[in-house]
Chain A
Amino acid sequence: MSNARFQARPATDQTGRPDFISIKNFGFWYGDKKALKSMSLDIPERQVVAFIGPSGCGKSTLLRNLNRMNDLVDGIRHEGDIEIKGQSIYDPGLEVISLRRRVGMVFQKSNPFPKSIYENVVFALRVMGVKNRAVLDEACETSLRKAALWDEVKDRLNDNALGLSGGQMQRLCIARAIANRPEILLMDEPCSALDPIATGKIEELIHELKAQFTIVIVTHSMQQAARVSDRTAFFYLGELIEYDTTEKIFMNPGQAQTEAYISGRFG
């Protein structure tokens, strides 16, 4: 069944729905510590939304709630709801695995598996039970091409992925995250460990991936947020301070705190 979805994903309309991801009065606790104060925001389809803010402001926590990666942590609690295409991700009828298959994720530190490049890319398909070699080959090539890595690795797909450079590894992780064609791509500071050239490549990539995926990116670099995102959310101490188009946030912020942060006066 997942197979069918993978093979024939219907082309979405060009406009996209404005509340593709809808966060509704969402609050979050680690044990007794409140990490996120109740907040609401809508993320539109096929746009790039950047989460910015100083360390510990809750932007990563929110990102990791979008595919319920925080479930791995003991003693967590939440209030409110997050909906993707109108369906709550906390719906008891929804398997967390199928949620994660719809929401791909790229992490701060590139984390390829100690397997071949090929096996890394097709991992998500393998765990979905895809065995057809032709399908896997095709998905591998498509994903690597989309991740702008195909030309560099096409001759050594069976080499260990750990032999790649840092930037290549991160692009491999992107290829892995998009191989099963998720609808949403979450990126948690994907360029923080990369040099400017590799960063530039990944940013280009984000521009291209926008045509197909809804992308949420957490970043510490305000320049990066300004370069890649359509909308930006500024968080401070677990609170959503401001959420608007990137242009507005950077040119004419509505809040004094936002202005102070983006002009470098604190953070």
Chain B
Amino acid sequence: MASSSSDNSTPKGEPWVWFTSLGLIVGLTMVAGLLGLVLINGFSVFWAPQVPTVKLKDGSEIIGQFVQRRVRPNSPASDPQYERQYQIGLRELNSTSYVWVDELNITDEKFTRETLGLERMENGPAFIIPKTIVDSTGKQHPFIVPNATVDSAGKFHPIYTTAFSLIRAEVDQATLIRERVLDINQNKIGLVNAEMEETRIALRRAEDRQEPTVELTDKLKTLDLKFAELKKEAEEISKLTALGHIEGIDAKGRSVTIPFAGIVRAWEPNRMTTLDRIGLMFSRMQEFLFDAPREANTEGGLMPAIFGTLVMTVFMSMLVTPVGVIAAIYLKEYAKDGPVLRVVRICVNNLAGVPSIVFGVFGLGFFVYVLGGTIDQLFFSDQLKYNNNTPVFGTGGLLWCSLTLALMTLPVVIVATEEALSAVPRGMREASLAAGASKWQTIRDILLPASAPGILTGVILAMARGAGEVAPLMIVGVVKLAPTLPIDGLAPFLHLDRKFMHLGFHIYDLGFQSPDSDAARPMVFATTLLLIILVVCLNLGAITIRNRLRARFKGASF
């Protein structure tokens, strides 16, 4: 004690600096850990590693992609034993895609060179040893093509090449045909369906009003014909690849036949070069970003969810910005200071702390049922009456999702706008008023442009919160699988009444509602990564705009 009272070269309180930095370190570690985890796990969806053939003690074999290694449950802590998880695929034969193997049971692990990896439309991936390839014309080709070269000494060297290029060509052809069939099924038949729906409603209305129905029934008949024609066309096209398939054996020696029509992608995991692997990764990433999901969302792409999230977030920002800014202008510039204003301010601030699910319930109760129901009564009464009471706006949809989130993020924008208005230098306001501008002119010409960067900051925060929100959306219009996008070529192009897919909900659905959680897990991480990237991109866009605006007002700091 006595010694501590003597003069010390360390200033008092200096160690606290380290203590405060501890908080930052904890925060940064958590962020870095989260991003690292998501990044590593997310990328495993796209990367194609070597696929071993694993020999077990009992003599059986498995061919599968290594997934993870963990301490075997019930193994002694002093001498931990491990088990490994492999993705063996071929769900239709193996009943499950993933198996755990005790490491003690593994006797041998080799990388069979002719192993073929197949990504399929159904039943997950397959890892097989191919034997014969039958092309679309029905001609058979052996998978292994023996070849021989002669070296300089005149000695023969047997060399085996595979018919992989043939598989690739067949898969590409099958993909093209699948896309054509999809185009017919979705776009052309979709149009016919929409028209049929309309005609049916019109027909029911005409019957109800006892008006002539001949024309409508005729039209319906024509549409029916058109529908059948298109169906037939699709069938004809898909027949083009019906013959082609791969014959091979799986790890247990069972023969497997896989038609090309059901193959999305084929690769040779144990023969391909790193460059090939990178190419495959990009191909998978492209599918992930630009294609629709398959297999209960556990495979394929996320395009509808990305698109839905984007459209919803942008639409929400468009709703919340004007309302929030106008409200803030009134609160800041026009409302008389007093107890009422203070109560309103407290309410607005507290609104930001209300759990988001509460907004969801409010959205359902007020927007969907009251507003949507009223809109249906007023403008879509025919649709209700003649279409089995199917609601148009009286059910969850894009508009109600955007409105609910706009309401949820309103306080953020109001508070940010108020702050920004307060931060405009007093001199600017006075200069404008002294020049004979009215209050409104001052707000419009001087205050709003000068506070635009601050307002945008609020909008950025609102977007970041809105884009990542899931809970309220689940009850006001987001679905697991939407048949159509909220924006398409059908008039009126932007379909505010449609249900849509959302990345946040997609993650929840994959992670917790998926029948095959092992298969869904990597997709959960990949989707999370994508959601983070999407939010970062949205924010970066807004920040760029803000910085441009800020540069314009640089120097106005008095």
Complex-state Cα separation, A126 to B436, whole angstroms: 10
Of B243-251, B348-356, B438-446, the one contacting chain A is B438-446
B450 close to A (CB within 8 Å)? yes
Decide: A72 near B427, CB < 8 A? Known: A113-B446, A114-B450, A162-B554. Answer: no
B435 close to A (CB within 8 Å)? yes
Complex-state Cα separation, A74 to B337, whole angstroms: 10
- Taking the closest CB of chain A, its distance from the CB of B311, in whole angstroms, is 34
Decide: A127 near B436, CB < 8 A? Known: A113-B446, A114-B449, A162-B554. Answer: yes
With CB as the reference atom, state the residue of chain B lying closest to A103.
Answer: B434
Which of these, A69, A74, A109, A128, contacts B434 with CB under 8 Å? A69
B433 close to A (CB within 8 Å)? yes
With CB as the reference atom, state the residue of chain B lying closest to A102.
Answer: B436
Complex-state Cα separation, A162 to B555, whole angstroms: 6
Complex-state Cα separation, A123 to B552, whole angstroms: 18
Decide: A124 near B435, CB < 8 A? Known: A72-B430, A113-B446. Answer: yes
**Which residues of chain A have C-beta atoms less than 8 A from B556's C-beta?**
114, 162
**Which residues of chain A have C-beta atoms less than 8 A from B427's C-beta?**
107, 109, 111
Proximity string of chain A (127-144) to chain B, C-beta cutoff 8 Å, 1 when within and 0 when not: 110000000000000000
B558 close to A (CB within 8 Å)? yes
**Which residues of chain B have C-beta atoms less than 8 A from A124's C-beta?**
435-437
**Which residues of chain A have C-beta atoms less than 8 A from B555's C-beta?**
162-163
Do A113 and B433 touch across chains, with their CB atoms under 8 A apart? no
Do A107 and B433 touch across chains, with their CB atoms under 8 A apart? no
Do B436 and A98 touch across chains, with their CB atoms under 8 A apart? yes
Do A113 and B436 touch across chains, with their CB atoms under 8 A apart? no
Binding site secondary structure of chain B? helix
Do B445 and A104 touch across chains, with their CB atoms under 8 A apart? no
With CB as the reference atom, state the residue of chain A lying closest to B436.
Answer: A101
Complex-state Cα separation, A107 to B428, whole angstroms: 10
Do B433 and A104 touch across chains, with their CB atoms under 8 A apart? no
With CB as the reference atom, state the residue of chain A lying closest to B425.
Answer: A111
Do B436 and A180 touch across chains, with their CB atoms under 8 A apart? yes
- Taking the closest CB of chain B, its distance from the CB of A257, in whole angstroms, is 31
With CB as the reference atom, state the residue of chain B lying closest to A119.
Answer: B445
With CB as the reference atom, state the residue of chain A lying closest to B441.
Answer: A127
A38 close to B (CB within 8 Å)? no
**Which residues of chain B have C-beta atoms less than 8 A from A113's C-beta?**
428, 431-432, 445-446, 450
Which of these, B431, B437, B438, B554, contacts A111 with CB under 8 Å? B431
Do B437 and A127 touch across chains, with their CB atoms under 8 A apart? yes
- Interface members, chain B 536-558 (any A CB < 8 Å): 552-556, 558
**Which residues of chain A have C-beta atoms less than 8 A from B432's C-beta?**
113, 123, 127
Decide: A97 near B438, CB < 8 A? Known: A111-B425, A113-B428. Answer: yes
With CB as the reference atom, state the residue of chain A lying closest to B431.
Answer: A111
- Taking the closest CB of chain B, its distance from the CB of A5, in whole angstroms, is 12
Decide: A109 near B558, CB < 8 A? Known: A69-B430, A72-B430, A74-B337. Answer: yes
Decide: A177 near B430, CB < 8 A? Known: A114-B553, A127-B441. Answer: no
Complex-state Cα separation, A105 to B433, whole angstroms: 10
Binding site secondary structure of chain A? helix
Proximity string of chain A (109-123) to chain B, C-beta cutoff 8 Å, 1 when within and 0 when not: 101111100000001
With CB as the reference atom, state the residue of chain B lying closest to A164.
Answer: B555
Decide: A128 near B431, CB < 8 A? Known: A111-B558, A113-B446, A162-B556. Answer: no
- Interface members, chain A 5-29 (any B CB < 8 Å): none
A46 close to B (CB within 8 Å)? no
Do A107 and B553 touch across chains, with their CB atoms under 8 A apart? no
Interface range on chain B (Cβ under 8 Å from partner): 20 to 34
Which of these, A97, A111, A114, A160, contacts B436 with CB under 8 Å? A97
**Which residues of chain A have C-beta atoms less than 8 A from B431's C-beta?**
105, 107, 111-113, 173, 176
- Taking the closest CB of chain A, its distance from the CB of B42, in whole angstroms, is 43
A100 close to B (CB within 8 Å)? yes
**Which residues of chain A have C-beta atoms less than 8 A from B435's C-beta?**
100, 104, 123-124, 127, 176-177, 180
- Interface members, chain B 324-370 (any A CB < 8 Å): 337
Proximity string of chain A (83-100) to chain B, C-beta cutoff 8 Å, 1 when within and 0 when not: 000000000000001101
Choose among B431, B435, B554 the residue with the greatest number of A CB atoms under 10 Å from its CB.
B435
A61 close to B (CB within 8 Å)? no
- Taking the closest CB of chain A, its distance from the CB of B56, in whole angstroms, is 75
**Which residues of chain A have C-beta atoms less than 8 A from B428's C-beta?**
111, 113
A67 close to B (CB within 8 Å)? yes
**Which residues of chain B have C-beta atoms less than 8 A from A67's C-beta?**
434
Complex-state Cα separation, A177 to B437, whole angstroms: 12
Complex-state Cα separation, A173 to B553, whole angstroms: 17
Which of these, B337, B434, B441, contacts A104 with CB under 8 Å? B434
**Which residues of chain B have C-beta atoms less than 8 A from A173's C-beta?**
431
- Taking the closest CB of chain B, its distance from the CB of A60, in whole angstroms, is 12
Complex-state Cα separation, A176 to B436, whole angstroms: 11
- Taking the closest CB of chain B, its distance from the CB of A99, in whole angstroms, is 8
- Taking the closest CB of chain A, its distance from the CB of B506, in whole angstroms, is 43
Choose among A69, A104, A115 the residue with the greatest number of B CB atoms under 10 Å from its CB.
A115
Decide: A177 near B553, CB < 8 A? Known: A111-B425, A114-B449. Answer: no
Complex-state Cα separation, A3 to B428, whole angstroms: 25
Complex-state Cα separation, A72 to B426, whole angstroms: 11
Do A128 and B436 touch across chains, with their CB atoms under 8 A apart? yes
Complex-state Cα separation, A232 to B210, whole angstroms: 95
With CB as the reference atom, state the residue of chain B lying closest to A107.
Answer: B427
Closest 3 CB pairs of A and B: A111-B427, A101-B436, A105-B434
Sample of 9 further A-B pairs with CB below 8 A, known A123-B437, A177-B434: A105-B431, A111-B427, A112-B431, A113-B450, A127-B432, A127-B436, A173-B431, A176-B435, A180-B436
> What are 23 A-to-B residue pairs whose CB atoms are below 8 Å?
A69-B430, A74-B337, A97-B436, A97-B438, A100-B434, A104-B434, A104-B435, A105-B430, A107-B431, A111-B427, A111-B430, A111-B431, A111-B558, A113-B431, A113-B450, A114-B449, A114-B552, A114-B556, A162-B553, A162-B554, A173-B431, A176-B435, A177-B435
